[in-house]
């Protein structure tokens, strides 16, 4: 059981085997960050959750969120919703837009989403979930993947059954965030359960939850916890994590990374919109470094992108990767999956 599991071969011909993916994160995983993180070595990227209804309605904001660039490939578009017909139609739209795969969000714990029957609410009824998967498979030529929680709550941790239904329905992989819906972001991801599912499953299982260093991720792969690992919050604190997983020696040059982030953001969004999103990324990048708190306050007192850039250059040229201390403080303890 301590042997590694084989890697994901779904995109082998065009992109090679997959061992690590960037987790989808709402408000973070837009085309700008996905492009940056692909350059930083992530092998696959996935969009944040998009409303299937919004896609079918042709909502401007939802369609905008579906945009991606060629450099991101392989890129998946994640959708959520409660209605089988609408989800299937949305899958067809994603396919038409040229994405490499469609991912379904079965992990979102947010009340507004689950009360409507979307996200993790599907886990409560694996039979219905199977019907949704078959219906979506019937309209797709590109792969269908899913991202789930371990179950709805402690008493109904049915991820083993959900993974079996997914495999029988022709799904290409199951990414498991190792917490129940009821847990939200509290406690720790249950990697033992992820491992159990991975060894029982006939399709690849991607393990997700709480990996913040390359050593932790590598251990999960080497000890056969999953076929691949998915990293979310850890990549914001340590954007070099994927390069390290590729066996490369990163330069830990945060200033260079930020420079590139500004460049891509301005190119894709224009200075005004780039300014708004870059502020929060700078705050995350600074987490754990000395004087990050006054720096954060200054970020939010800036007025435009030039002021922000100057501030960032001042701050990040004065720090070294070694000066970071992981304060262990909870970091982004909420999200849509």
Binding site for ligand FMN (CB under 6 A): 23-28, 48-49, 78, 105, 107, 147, 177, 208-211, 231-234, 332, 335-337
C-beta of 89 vs 210, nearer to ligand FMN? 210
C-beta of 110 vs 299, nearer to ligand FMN? 110
Least distance between ligand FMN and beta carbon 175 (Å):
8
Gyration radius (Cα) of the chain, Å: 19
94, 108, 148, 241: the catalytic one is 108
Question: For the chain, give me the number of helices (H) and strands (E)?
Answer: 15, 8
What secondary structure does DSSP assign to 226-277, as a single string? -SEEEESHHHHH-TTHHHHHTT------HHHHHHHHHHHHHHHHHHHHHHHH
Q: Is 115 a catalytic residue?
A: no
Going by their DSSP bridges, the two strands 228-231 and 20-22 should be labelled as: parallel
C-beta of 227 vs 309, nearer to ligand FMN? 227
185: Cβ contacts below 8 Å, ≥ 6 apart: 179, 330, 332, 333, 334, 335
**Angle 305-316/292-299 helices, nearest 10 degrees?**
170
C-beta of 221 vs 266, nearer to ligand FMN? 221
What are 232's two structure tokens? Answer: 């979310």
Inter-CA distances, 253 with 28, 40, 118, 121, 212, Å: 21, 12, 40, 42, 18
Q: Between vectors from CA 55 to CA 49 and to CA 61, what angle results, nearest 5°?
A: 75
Least distance between ligand FMN and beta carbon 103 (Å):
8
Least distance between ligand FMN and beta carbon 320 (Å):
25
What are 180's two structure tokens? Answer: 């129940």
Least distance between ligand FMN and beta carbon 233 (Å):
3
Instruction: Render the burial of 296-323: b for 16+ CB within 10 Å, e for the rest.
Output: bebbeebeebeebbebbeebbeebeeee
Least distance between ligand FMN and beta carbon 27 (Å):
6
Within 10 Å of residue 260's Cβ, how many Cβ atoms? 14
Least distance between ligand FMN and beta carbon 177 (Å):
4
Q: Is the peptide bond before 74 cis (omega within 30 degrees of 0)?
A: yes
C-beta of 106 vs 295, nearer to ligand FMN? 106
C-beta of 113 vs 167, nearer to ligand FMN? 113
Sort 186 into a burial class: Cβ within 10 Å, 0-12 / 13-18 / 19+. Answer: exposed
Q: CA 177 to CA 4: how far, in whole Å? A: 19
Catalytic residues: 108
């Amino acid at each position: 059981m301590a042997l590694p599991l084989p890697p994901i071969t779904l995109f082998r011909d065009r992109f090679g085997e997959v061992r690590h993916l960037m987790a989808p994160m709402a408000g973070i995983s837009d085309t700008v960050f996905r492009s940056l993180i692909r350059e930083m070595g992530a092998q696959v990227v996935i969009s944040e959750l998009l409303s299937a209804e919004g896609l079918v309605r042709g909502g401007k904001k939802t369609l905008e969120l579906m945009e991606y660039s060629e450099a991101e490939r392989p890129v998946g578009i994640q959708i959520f919703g409660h209605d089988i017909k609408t989800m299937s139609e949305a899958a067809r739209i994603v396919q038409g837009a040229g994405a490499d795969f469609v991912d379904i969000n079965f992990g979102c714990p947010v009340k507004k989403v689950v009360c409507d029957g979307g996200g993790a609410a599907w886990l409560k009824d694996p039979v219905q979930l199977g019907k949704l998967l078959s219906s979506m498979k019937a309209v797709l030529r590109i792969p269908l993947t899913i991202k789930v929680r371990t179950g709805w709550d402690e008493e109904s941790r049915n991820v083993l059954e959900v993974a079996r239904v997914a495999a029988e329905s022709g799904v290409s992989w199951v990414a498991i965030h190792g917490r129940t819906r009821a847990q939200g972001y509290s406690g720790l991801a249950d990697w033992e359960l992820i491992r159990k599912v991975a060894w029982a499953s006939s399709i690849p299982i991607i393990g997700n939850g709480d990996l913040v260093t390359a050593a932790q991720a590598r251990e999960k792969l080497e000890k056969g916890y999953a076929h691949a690992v998915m990293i979310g919050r850890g990549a914001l604190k340590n954007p070099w994590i994927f390069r390290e997983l590729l066996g490369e020696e990163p330069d830990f040059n945060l200033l260079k990374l930020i420079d590139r982030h500004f460049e891509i953001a301005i190119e894709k969004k224009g200075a005004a919109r780039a300014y708004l999103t870059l502020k929060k990324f700078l705050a995350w990048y600074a987490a754990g470094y000395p004087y990050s708190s006054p720096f954060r306050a200054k970020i939010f007192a800036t007025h435009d992108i030039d002021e922000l850039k100057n501030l960032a250059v001042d701050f990040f040229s004065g720090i070294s990767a070694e000066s970071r201390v992981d304060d262990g403080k909870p970091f982004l303890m909420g999200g849509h999956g």
